[in-house]
Structure 1
């Protein structure tokens, strides 16, 4: 059977902040990100985006302190819990996934009003296909079809004080990388993922590398910079971002009083200093 797609494309990553939206936004701003105005989904959640060249980070939760969370995100702790790929046709994707025995849910449509920089107001509209949680990891794996990409990727929102340009790498800590690899192969074909000598499964997504690594390998790489699992077994632990100039990024972090460790290829901010996700900056 032909692979579903020859080239998986990362769309965005979701960082849950639960009912601490204001504090979460302030923390990302301190890390040097420019955030979009708060959006409110028709599904009942609120968000801010840090929009990059081809992808983005999303803060997701509620803007009501102590308020109820959307049922599908209510169980997740603060931290990075959403791994989102791009699709051009959510309805067709859902049907093709199910035909391949992938436990995908029917496509879901929703929208959110967007306050544009020129003072206008438009609706950003989406269709998503989610994988059953039990088949993925302790988080949400889904695909997003952007019906109005012009209301997300705007040049005014893509300029960040820290110089962030794009997502370079995503790291998950998992108990069985081969299980994750089997799931990816079912979707994208045998050649989509490789297994490294230390056991991690590697999924290239164009310029982004997604790695499903054994817990021991993650502990060896991140040490004290790793996030609190907060009850999660297989979970997202790190995002690496390409920046224009590491020295300029370091200056932004110093000005905000955020400690950064020098690591091969760049800088690392520990999860305890962010939103329970380790953040690397690289060039």
Structure 2
């Protein structure tokens, strides 16, 4: 089946205002806060065909949705594009993938033209024990016109789309085996240095050993906060690194340069390491 990134979730728990301020400093235009029928709140940074979601509650000290309550602040949701959610769930179950039944929900969306419409979704989630210490699922958009609005897709940092998701794992082959069941054997490759690579359209999902990830990220790494296998880095394609660097300097955000990228330490991005990539 097709493998495309739909969105990436950064949990902010009850620090929604802080999270929104942090990502605006990083140069993202955020949508107005939305409130799900499931009881959570979010802001989105809409990109070309995917997006980032800041997810939590808008009430400081408030109760979190049960499925996100166990997780710390930081990268937590790897979400693939879904279609025909009920058939997708049945197909994945037939492949031996432990998925839950499709769930339908919605949130009112305040649109740029001043109107309000319901954005409607269906999700198919994997059991928590099946993958890394986070959430892995598909999202079917029943009203994509209320999400991908041109007015929301322009960002001062020039972000265009998701390019790389890095997982830090004990056993990359275990993650590779799950991805093969989900998307087929041809979707996954394993490199000579034991990285499992899942091609997802223009993006790649990479599962690498803990030691390899620690060596790559160094002081820019997120606090694992008690997690084992976990999401650690989000890479985003940008129009130009010069444009991105200018936006970061204006807002006083520290970044380190590498070959073809600017890296934001997790301390500046709600416990998520961010790479802006040429």
- Helix, strand or coil at the partner of 1:122: strand
Q: Which among 40, 45, 52 is matched to residue 45 of structure 1?
A: 40
- Helix, strand or coil at the partner of 2:235: strand
- Structure 2: gaps of 5 or more residues: none
Residue 280 (structure 1) aligned with residue 261 (structure 2): no
Q: Which residue of 1 aligns with 2:243?
A: 248
Q: Tell me which stretches of 4 or more aligned residues in structure 1 moved more than 2 Å.
A: none
Length-normalised TM-score, structure 1: 0.97
Residue 267 (structure 1) aligned with residue 262 (structure 2): yes
Using the TM superposition, name which of 264-273 and 70-79 deviates more: 264-273
What is the Cα deviation at residue 254 of structure 1? Answer: 1.0
State the distance in 1 between where 2:151 and 2:79 align.
Answer: 23
1:141-192 per-residue CA deviation (whole Å, 9 max, x = no partner) reads: 0000000000000000000000101111110101110000111111222111
Length-normalised TM-score, structure 2: 0.99
Residue 86 (structure 1) aligned with residue 81 (structure 2): yes
Q: Which among 90, 107, 110 is matched to residue 112 of structure 1?
A: 107
- Helix, strand or coil at the partner of 1:95: helix
Residue 28 (structure 1) aligned with residue 18 (structure 2): no
State the distance in 1 between where 2:52 and 2:115 align.
Answer: 23
Q: Which residue of 2 aligns with 1:171?
A: 166
State the distance in 2 between where 1:116 and 1:141 align.
Answer: 28
Residue 128 (structure 1) aligned with residue 123 (structure 2): yes
- Structure 1: gaps of 5 or more residues: none
Q: Which residue of 2 aligns with 1:230?
A: 225
State the distance in 1 between where 2:268 and 2:25 align.
Answer: 10
Q: Which residue of 1 aligns with 2:92?
A: 97
* Aligned residue pair count: 278
